[in-house]
Amino acid sequence: MPLGQRVGDKSDSRYCGVETDFDDDMPQVLSHNLSSGFDFVVATLLDPEYRPSLVKKDNNGSAVLPFAASDLVITPSQWSSHVVGKISSWIDLDSVNDKLRIDSEITLKQEIAWACHLSLQACVLPFPKSASCGNYARCVNQILQGLSNMQLWLRVPLEKSEVMEDDMKDSINPEMFDSWEWWNSFRLLCEHHSQLSVALDILPSLPSISSLGRWFGEPVRAAFLHTKSFLTNARGYPCLSKRHQKLVAGFFDHSVQIILSGTSKHNISPGSLPQTKEADNNAIPRHQLRPYLDYVAYLYQRMDPLPEQDRIEHGYRDFLQSPLQPLMDNLEAQTYETFEKDTVKYTQYQRAVCKALVDRIPDENASTTTVVLMVVGAGRGPLVRASLQAAEETGRKLKVYAVEKNPNAVVTLHSLIKLEGWEKLVTVVSCDMRCWEAPEKADILVSELLGSFGDNELSPECLDGAQRFLKEDGISIPSSYTSFVQPVSTSKLYNDVKSHKDLAHFETAYVVKLHRVARLAPTQAVFTFAHPNYSCESNDRYKKLCFEIPPETGSAMVHGFAGYFDATLYKDVHLGIEPNTATPNMFSWFPIFFPLRTPVTVAPGSPVEVHFWRCHGGAKVWYEWCVTSPSASPIHNSGGRSYWVGL
């Protein structure tokens, strides 16, 4: 049964598994563990004593393999839903012993073939036995090429010395050991295959916070939580350290399933614990790991429910979307409706207009002077409403021009004005702001043309075209905006882009609700635009940035760059999505993601140097980007060949 009912969470992390020893009575293994509250078992498929070279074959040259059970002993749905296969831990495909190496390769293929026959959803691969894992990766990569839907989870430790084999300890300095580097090497050899994932081993000691953070950008599917990682509370029950609790909570939030592993380390008398209903009815002893399961369930159940906005956005997590083309395309009603629900954004705009009106017109002139305010890109009218509410709040008189190029939205604007009785206050203009000849000049120009990267929906070009009907001392809302980027590791997004198998998708910037991502360094500012731009400064830009990834993080892989913006609407009123200054509870913008064609591996403490360009030509604007350190990448999107925004 699931760990609990957390509102809004339907992820796999609700389900907890248990690691079991080899047992040829699979029905009994399933019955005992499922009736004890576990949702699935991680089971060794093949007798650990089996070695291909020791098997005596019959006259036909074949032998019956000692698998745990026939596929008939439980139903296909039980195999698929409740069993994760565990490949024999003794295999060593990079052994210098040819006999062991060949036995290992044969056994690996036999077990994977059997798991596929059973329609298992996943199999756990043992961690490499030596620093060199080239042949292991070659065999796994070969298997992946013919795999249908099953996932392979490479078991990777998060602790150093205790998980290393004796021969590894002799050849590797434990202080230099970083299991992430081995995982990275293994997945590079397997070409970032989307069906190769990670199952982390969580042991008593944990690496640094920044080092752990890397794994949230990796395809971690499960975490083995060992009983020896548990402490004992005052009542004698198992519990976890604060650091372990925080890590487990992070796994819950990233759809990582917990798998309990090991034997009970707590002497809890059976009489002190309530028996399960099944145990009462059938006299079955309580599962020795049930107290650990209860504690994991307690951690899950005490998490706060997902906020309403997170529940709405849940389906958008790590989903790549092409940015809007507001000048080339007319938005649909559903898109307008989504953005109009963002009350936080319009509250900020109303605050900005209030301050601008008060600065523009002193109190003594409020009843005699009318402010001309133009909403350029009025859409279906939310900024018109916010501006009129600001006028009412400050006691100022307002004349509004609502300029909108989308003829469909203009229909809605006319209906809104009649419905609200604004005929004497608002004039609707059906025209592109860059082409409109205004009958008078504006005191205040209001727009919401910002994109996830600030300027990526062509706010600079649009407002440059509209500023000719703004008075010389007029106010532009927003008055300025700045874009920001940071290097990120996100295996999920990289593989999603890679699945298209073409250059164009690697040279496109995507809007995406980032979730399975590791942010490797703090953000840095890229491009800034200010309005009005009476100096007619070019909107082309170039910026070189150098990011320092903290040395304690260890090695990391940069799959691309996350982009954000922060905008000053007027004076101290701002809005944006830059992580350090993000406007709370605002959802109109997701971050933007600039992928790299070839991910860049960064050594501990090494700088990441990246270049960004904003270019224009003909009827389009585009970005180009590249990395020059620690290694050079191609310049992406040269000449806007793959991705641009149409003027």
342 shares its domain with 300? no
- What residue numbers bound the domain in which 198 lies? 12-54+64-304
pLDDT in tens, 171-197: 444 445 789 999 999 999 999 999 999
Residue 336 marked in a binding site? yes
Q: In this structure, are 284 and 376 located in the same domain? A: no
Q: Give the confidence band of 164 by pLDDT, cuts at 50, 70, 90.
A: very low
Identity at 54, one-letter amino acid code: L
Is residue 63 over pLDDT 60? Answer: yes
User: Residue 322 falls within a domain, yes or no?
Assistant: no
Are 633 and 563 found together in one domain? yes
Strand order in the sheet with 541-548: 541-548, 607-617, 620-629, 645-646
Which of these three, 448, 468, 495, is where a domain ends?
448
Is 253 inside any structural domain? Answer: yes
Question: Percent of the chain beyond pLDDT 70?
Answer: 93
Residues 356 and 282 placed together within one structural domain of the fold:
no
Q: Which two tokens stand for residue 501?
A: 């198998």
CATH number at residue 294: 3.20.20.150
Output the CA–CA distances (angstroms, integers) from residue 249 to 9, 200, 344, 368, in the order listed: 13, 15, 29, 60
Q: Is residue 3 part of a domain?
A: no
pLDDT of residue 276: 41
pLDDT per residue as tens digits for the range 375-391: 999 999 999 999 999 99
pLDDT for the residue 269: 57
- Indicate whether 463 belongs to any domain: no
Residue with tokens 């900024």: 383
What digits encode the pLDDT tens for the residues 431-445? Answer: 999 889 999 999 999
User: Are residue 503 and residue 630 in the same domain, yes or no?
Assistant: yes
Catalytic residues, by residue number, are 448, 457
Are 359 and 231 members of one domain?
no
Q: Is 311 a domain residue? A: no
404 is in an annotated binding site: yes
pTM over 0.75: yes
Residue 18 exposed, middle or buried by CB count within 10 Å (0-12, 13-18, 19+): buried
pLDDT band at 47 (very low <50, low <70, confident <90, very high): very high
Q: For the residues 561-586, what does the mean pLDDT come to? A: 97
Structural domain includes residue 133: yes
Q: Which tens digits make up the pLDDT trace of 396-411?
A: 999 999 999 999 999 9
The two tokens of residue 625 are 């980007």
Residue 514 belongs to domain with CATH number: 2.70.160.11
Query: SS3 of 428, please?
Result: strand
Task: Give the tens place of pLDDT for each residue, 481-503.
Answer: 999 999 999 999 999 999 999 99
Q: Over 80: is that where the pLDDT of 281 sits?
A: no
CA 176 to CA 158: how far, in whole Å? 13
Rounded to the nearest 10 degrees, what angle do helices 242-253 and 290-301 cross at? Answer: 70
State how far the Cα of 193 lies from the Cα of 495, in Å rounded to an integer.
Answer: 8
Coarse DSSP helix, strand, coil percentages of the chain, rounded to the nearest 5 percent: 35, 25, 40
Same domain? For 424 and 505 the reply is no
Would you state the pLDDT for residue 71?
A: 85
Q: Residue 315 falls within a domain, yes or no?
A: no
Q: pLDDT digit string (tens) for 580-597?
A: 999 999 999 999 999 999
Q: Which of 443, 430, 439 is nearest to 377 (CA)?
A: 430
Q: How confident is the model at residue 12 (pLDDT cuts 50, 70, 90)?
A: confident
Determine, yes or no, domain membership for 474: no
Q: Which of 122, 128, 124 is nearest to 101 (CA)?
A: 128
- Are 280 and 172 in a shared domain? yes
* CATH number of the domain encompassing residue 385: 3.40.50.150
Q: Is 137 helix (H, G, I), strand (E, B) or coil?
A: helix
> Which pLDDT does position 11 carry in this prediction?
83
How many distinct structural domains can be found in the chain? 3
Kindly indicate the confidence band of residue 60, based on its pLDDT and cuts at 50, 70 and 90.
Answer: low
Residues ≥6 apart with Cβ < 8 Å to 81: 40, 121
Are 503 and 612 within one domain?
yes
432 is in an annotated binding site: yes
Looking at the structure, do residues 234 and 341 belong to the same domain, yes or no?
no
Q: Mean pLDDT, to the nearest integer, of 76-83?
A: 94
At 388 the pLDDT is 97
Q: Calculate mean pLDDT across residues 304-329.
A: 84
Domain identity same for 490 and 568: yes
1-to-34, 40, 139, 238, 326 alpha-carbon distances in Å:
8, 9, 36, 21, 47
Give the residue among 152, 263, 158 at the shortest CA–CA distance from 200.
158
| Rounded Cα gap, residues 229 and 204, in angstroms | 4
Mean pLDDT score across all residues of the chain: 91
Q: 532 and 636 share a domain? A: yes
Residue 132's pLDDT is 87
User: Cα torsion at 279, 282, 288, 291 (round to 10°)?
Assistant: -10
Token digits for 17? 């598994």
Answer yes or no: is pLDDT of 161 > 60: no
